[in-house]
Chain A
Amino acid sequence: MNSSNPLPPKERMRIPRQRMPEQPPADRRANFAEVNLGLDAALARQEALRCLHCQSHHCFTGCPVGVKIKDFVELILRGDYLAAAAKIREDNVLPAITGRVCPQEDQCEGQCILGKHGQPLAIGYLERFVADYERRVGQVGLPPNAPPTGRRVAVIGSGPAGLSAAGDLVQRGHQVTVFEALHELGGVLIYGIPEFRLPKHIVHEEIENLRRMGVEFRTNVVVGRTVTVDELLGREGYHAVFIATGAGLPVFLNIPGEHLCGVYSANEFLTRVNLMKANEFPAWDEPIYDCRGRAVAVIGGGNTAMDAVRTALRLGAATATIVYRRSEVEMPARAEEIKHAREEGVQFLTLANPVEFLGDARGWLTGIRCQRMALGEPDASGRRRPHPVPGSEFEIPAQVAIVAVGNRGNPLVQSTTPDLKTNPLGYIEADPQTLKTSKRGVFAGGDIVTGGATVILAMGAGRRAARAIDQYLRTGAW
């Protein structure tokens, strides 16, 4: 696609990166509405003008699902926003979601040439802009489906990996049923990521689009309990199964006091609010510990930790503190989440690690004993390994503590599928390219294979799985 950009490259580089309009921090810390308000058409055009339209478009290679970024940015310049959205949808079935939650700085924007000398193109903002435009005008450019193949695929889990695979498979003409254990569809997009970062109506609309494309959804089915993988492949008549159950088994710290009332896993804390709407108790029935006026500490430095700590603020916490054992540089959270958290008043206690939760006689949390940490040599992840400083213990007050240090593979499917190989951490073993497992006809991808990662990486796995499943269904070759 040729560039219609009227500006010579030098002038493009003079345009500053456009800023995302946001709710002011003082307002937003007291509500659950979305923080980022989205670019308008003028801002989007101004931002799109910055694109250098490089021959070797590195942004594309930085995208785990291979969105044709240069082309959709060009369509924005031409003012054809619907075509831009359709261009994204060729590779990404959930653009309104990824435009909001992708760690762009590590992916497309991290590869952008503009970033070498200044700030990279705001690809995430632009993606969100066209996806929102498309939703607003109600003309979602759903791609056409191939003629029916008569083959049936069961997708286990309705999170990003499952949805992405379902969208691609149905386009290739297969009949797809997505099984979800919870009463609502969307997986981590619904129970994990808060409303203020990803409004749930967007997830609902994206799922509705998949339904319109022909994907069948069934809630309240726990594969491994309600029905097994072998039954899906047997009496239920599915020709292939894609396991995309996510890394839903929270890791705790295994330190004394973890059973005190007030100590939550991030999964539970966020599920109570995001899925069960405990912030609207008693209009909704599920309760959550009343955080108003209380000290809340969140242990961890990833996106989930940021989501939990900012949720606690919105529930009225007097103080909301991140406790992280390394320094801020090593935090795995998206840069924007850390920035937003700080603007909202979140405190950061870095180089500190909890060693004990302290409680009162009734079994309620009152504080956390921590120790100071220092950074040593880099470990396998490339980040400097923290080690405790002897004699450095100190206490912080906390009535609520939320443990956000990651997940392991949820064993429900594996433990009821005897011939499925898993690794010592409980994740399913699958070929990284074809996502084939040790069991014929069964594929697995997303966090249940890789461990906790990102929405877009899970979607990438879903795409690869769809391609491999399609090939398997057409050739029968394993």
Chain B
Amino acid sequence: MFPIVEARWLAPDVKWFRIRAPLIARKQQPGQFVIVRVHERGERIPLTIAGADTETITLIVQGVGKTTKLLNTLEAGQAVRDVVGPLGRPSEIRRYGTVVVIGGGVGTAIAYPTARALKQAGNRVLAILGGRTRALVILEPEMRAFCDAVYVTTDDGSYGEKGLVTDRLRALVTGPERPDFVLAIGPIPMMRAVAEVTRPHGIQTMVSLNPIMVDGTGMCGGCRVVVGGKTFFACVDGPEFDAHQVDFQILAARNAMYREAEQRALAEFQAQHPHPPDQCRLTRAHPELLLPPVPAS
């Protein structure tokens, strides 16, 4: 069992956890992930590590299906059944020059440790944080703490610039500060769109892929992705790949493989849990009330 030391809502349906896992905490590097099993009969899901101290790791979880919503019902003092890792290859941290780090929704949580490491490596780091709406833009203060500039975009214009992250990116790549490297982490359509913005400019672009996984050690091959026409296992060869080479269509199709089953499991779960904490009307209306202080890094 892996005890939850701290748990707080970051945004509606998005929860921030600090979990005691000393072996993983000491070993993890930016870009790596863990596989989590919430309970005795649970499925195994990959979650990228958003940070760590010597004893604990930070996970930021968006409740989209049964497992993530169930995980998000847990509080400090409770425990997660299984956590294994750190898995996958760490992000390649080099001195590129000017880098743009793009986080779409909860993707910002995954980009955060890599962005910080890129800054420490001497890069000029510009961040673009996007969300459908204001409440879904997360970790902005944390990013502002070290980034050279932070741009926020929302689809509905409720905060920052109205538009998509790619609108801001397009301005940057054609502006005076042409980036040397772009890291984009978020929903598949966003990562695909980012790839198309940087491709004509020949700007090296990496994305972190989130295919369905089971074991996370290369044993099952369920997470296979096509990059540059070749097959890779995201769990051991990734999760970061060259955005210009990734076949996003195959990734999207494979990620939809269990949609019916996922919807059924979610419906049954919600029937049993009609009012999970993230559906509290007060916190939905005022998520800022639940924002945590700056997490310990």
Contact = CB atoms under 8 A, between A and B. Distances in A.
Interface in A199-229: 219-222, 225-227
Contact of B261 (A227, A265, A281): A281
Nearest to A246: B219
B133 interface: no
B224 A248 contact: no
Interface in A236-290: 248-250, 252, 254, 258-262, 264-265, 267-268, 271-272, 276-277, 281-287, 289-290
A14 interface: no
A327 interface: no
A154 to B, nearest CB: 14
A261 B261 contact: no
B79 interface: no
B215 A182 contact: yes
A404 B214 CA distance: 18
B44 A286 contact: yes
B87 interface: yes
A181 interface: yes
B86 A226 contact: yes
Contacts of B249: 363
B164 to A, nearest CB: 25
A282 B66 CA distance: 11
Contacts of A265: 220-222
B226 A259 contact: yes
A412 interface: yes
B85 interface: yes
Given A227-B23, A271-B215, A411-B236, A285 B84 contact: no
B219 A225 contact: no
B214 A249 contact: no
Contacts of A145: none
A268 B258 CA distance: 14
Interface size classification for chain A: 35 or more
Given A222-B85, A285-B43, A363-B250, A258 B231 contact: yes
A252 B220 CA distance: 11
A410 interface: yes
A287 to B, nearest CB: 4
Given A222-B84, A226-B86, A259-B254, A282 B265 contact: yes
B37 interface: yes
Interface in A346-364: 362-364
A136 interface: no
Interface string B11-39: 00000000000011001000000000100
A183 B220 contact: no
B27 A250 contact: no
Contact of B41 (A268, A271, A284): A284
B218 A411 contact: yes
Given A220-B82, A287-B265, A363-B250, A410 B214 contact: no
Contacts of A285: 41-43, 66-67, 265
A410 B217 contact: yes
Contacts of A276: 43-44, 214
A183 B84 contact: yes
A54 B5 CA distance: 66
A358 to B, nearest CB: 15
B44 A219 contact: no
Interface in B260-292: 260-262, 264-265, 268
A405 to B, nearest CB: 12
B121 interface: no
A287 B84 contact: no
A225 B86 contact: yes
Contacts of B296: none
Contact of A248 (B218, B261, B265, B268): B218
B132 to A, nearest CB: 26
A362 B83 contact: no
Nearest to B258: A287
Interface in B226-255: 226, 231, 236, 247, 249-250, 253-254
B256 interface: yes
Contacts of A289: 257-258
Contact of A268 (B82, B87, B214): B214
25 contacts: A181-B215, A183-B37, A191-B215, A191-B219, A248-B217, A258-B231, A260-B253, A264-B222, A265-B221, A265-B222, A268-B214, A271-B219, A276-B214, A277-B41, A281-B261, A285-B66, A285-B67, A286-B214, A287-B43, A289-B258, A290-B260, A363-B249, A363-B253, A411-B236, A412-B217
Given A222-B84, A264-B222, 6 more contacts: A222-B85, A222-B216, A252-B224, A268-B214, A268-B221, A289-B257
Nearest 9 pairs of A and B residues by beta carbon: A363-B253, A287-B261, A268-B220, A248-B219, A285-B43, A286-B43, A265-B221, A220-B84, A183-B82
